[in-house]
């Protein structure tokens, strides 16, 4: 009778754990993959919309920079309402003409160069917004997937704790254990229930945060993605110049260089040439008028503007070198962190988890055969649950490190590389 009761308890304790391993949670809807989350977030993200608007504005600015200055319609009336022969409008001279500004020094080309550089920077900003969104979505997806795993593990712990309490009650009723053992089992059950409630709240918040980010809800996530560890690693940029951060710093330098060229072109005066026709009321004759206007750079010859632009270019060049050092150091550190996280995750999900599973399997067999006590079985089950928790944490840390490394090493668009 004792062996039959022990076998029944062992089967009831092992059933929840075995069922959870063999039957993963199912959902009426297909699991939301990470790529689908990227697409959904990109369609609704205000950051992406703002970046696209920035590109559109830069394109419009490029069009404006390429426009030539408008001509002016000039009209002038002389000898109006004077005295003597100039009384009223008898001797009025009316001049109507057209004047055109002539930009010297290739000012238009310099403006276009600045606008082109700003357009390249806006394009890079759009690519950086995409990379930032990808990082946010990956981290939110990772948090939600890890929270789901933790919730499943916590619920398994509740099942184990309930069976511990049930077994303790049977042992106390049979006079084979003190009531203190039942009280300890009840405390363990209450702690497990509290942990499950906290895990459920965390999972709910993580799923809600992901839904807010991508603009849609999800009932299940891709468990295979969360469990997968990249064994080969991905090719990283060999230089900081190949990254988005490096390309952005180079684009700022290109813009500053174009601003220097524009400031130098502004030092050359813009000449205004005009042609007009003058009508003389006194003789009813018409005469032609030609005008030429040249500004005199007496108070502002543009040298200060050139000095300002040159200083800003030097600053942009220094900031570019700083950015190169920072991004290369950050990539090196993030690569080591991601590799260490991958090693930890492989160990936690491989040998360590396998050892815990084998220990639990041996404890179940030994309990059925009466060789191990119930506490030995439950301790093995708790160790397995703790090991699973550690494996979940290791996988979450790995995916987070990998996502941050992907953001740092995000390559610049081909157009930005060609511009350099």
Residue 292 included in any domain: no
Over residues 352-377, the pLDDT tens digits come to 888 988 998 887 687 666 577 667 77
| Residue 25: other Cβ atoms inside 10 A | 12
Mean pLDDT in residue range 398-414: 91
- Say if 86 falls within a structural domain: no
pLDDT tens digit sequence for 285-341: 888 889 899 988 888 899 999 999 999 999 999 999 999 999 999 999 999 998 999
pLDDT exceeds cutoff 70 at 86: no
What is the rounded average pLDDT of the residues 223-234?
Answer: 79
Domain for residue 47, yes or no? yes
Q: What is the mean pLDDT of the chain?
A: 84
Q: Is the pLDDT of residue 7 over 60?
A: no
DSSP secondary structure letters along 368-397: HTTSS-HHHHHHHHHHHHHHHHHHHHHHHH
Strand partners, 393: none
pLDDT digits (tens, 9 = 90+) for 250-268: 999 999 999 999 999 999 9
Q: ∠ CA(195), CA(201), CA(206), 5° rounding? A: 125
* Confidence bin at 163 (pLDDT 50/70/90): confident
The number of folded domains in the chain is: 1
Q: What is the pLDDT of residue 14?
A: 41
Cα-based distances in Å from 388 to 20, 163, 175, 200, 376: 12, 20, 35, 17, 18
Supply the pLDDT for residue 25: 46
CATH number at residue 236: 1.20.1600.10
Between 185 and 100, the higher pLDDT residue: 100
Residue 26 lies in a domain: yes
In a domain, 74, yes or no: no
Can you give the pLDDT at residue 34? Answer: 93
Please report the pLDDT score of residue 240 as a whole number: 80
CA angle 415, 416, 420 (to 5 degrees): 115
Does 369 reside within a domain? yes
Give the structural domain span for 403: 2-68+103-267+302-419
What DSSP designation does 79 have? Answer: S
The model scores a pTM over 0.85: no
What's the rounded Cα separation, in Å, for the pair 201 and 198? 5
- Within a domain: residue 90? no
Residue 408 forms part of a structural domain: yes
Residue 28, C-beta contacts closer than 8 angstroms, at least 6 positions apart: 219
């Amino acid at each position: 009778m004792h062996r039959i009761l022990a076998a029944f308890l062992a089967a009831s304790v092992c059933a929840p754990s075995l069922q959870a391993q063999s039957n993963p949670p199912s959902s009426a809807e297909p699991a939301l993959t990470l790529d689908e989350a990227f697409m959904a977030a990109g369609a609704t993200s205000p950051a992406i919309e703002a970046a696209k608007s920035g590109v559109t504005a830069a394109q419009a600015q490029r069009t404006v920079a390429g426009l030539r200055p408008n001509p002016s319609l000039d009209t002038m009336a002389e000898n109006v309402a004077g005295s003597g022969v100039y009384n009223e409008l008898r001797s009025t001279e009316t001049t109507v003409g057209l004047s055109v500004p002539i930009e010297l020094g290739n000012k238009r080309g310099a403006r276009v160069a600045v606008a082109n550089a700003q357009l390249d920077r806006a394009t890079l900003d759009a690519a950086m917004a995409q990379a930032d969104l990808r990082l946010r979505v990956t981290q939110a997806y990772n948090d939600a997937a890890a929270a789901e795993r933790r919730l499943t593990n916590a619920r398994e712990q509740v099942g184990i704790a309930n069976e511990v309490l049930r077994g303790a009650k049977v042992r106390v009723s049979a006079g084979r254990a003190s009531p203190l053992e039942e009280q300890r089992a009840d405390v363990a059950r209450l702690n497990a229930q509290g942990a499950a409630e906290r895990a459920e709240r965390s999972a709910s918040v993580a799923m809600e945060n992901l839904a807010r980010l991508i603009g849609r809800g999800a009932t299940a996530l891709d468990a295979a993605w969360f469990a997968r560890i990249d064994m080969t690693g991905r090719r990283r940029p060999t230089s900081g110049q190949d990254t988005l951060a490096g390309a952005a710093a180079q684009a700022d330098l290109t813009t500053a260089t174009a601003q220097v060229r524009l400031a130098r072109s502004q030092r050359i005066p813009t000449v205004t040439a005009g042609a007009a026709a003058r009508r003389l009321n006194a003789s009813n004759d018409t005469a032609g008028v030609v005008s030429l206007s040249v500004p005199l750079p007496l108070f502002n010859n543009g040298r200060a503007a050139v000095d300002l632009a040159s200083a800003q270019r030097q600053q942009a060049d220094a900031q570019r070198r700083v950015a190169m050092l920072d991004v290369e150091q950050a990539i090196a550190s993030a690569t080591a962190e991601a590799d260490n996280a991958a090693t930890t995750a492989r160990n936690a999900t491989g040998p360590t988890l396998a050892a815990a599973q084998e220990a639990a399997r041996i404890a179940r067999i030994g309990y059925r055969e009466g060789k191990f006590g119930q506490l030995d079985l439950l301790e093995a089950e708790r160790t397995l649950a703790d090991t699973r928790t550690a494996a979940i944490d290791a996988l979450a840390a790995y995916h987070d490190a990998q996502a941050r490394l992907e953001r740092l090493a995000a390559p610049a668009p081909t157009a930005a590389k060609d511009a350099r």
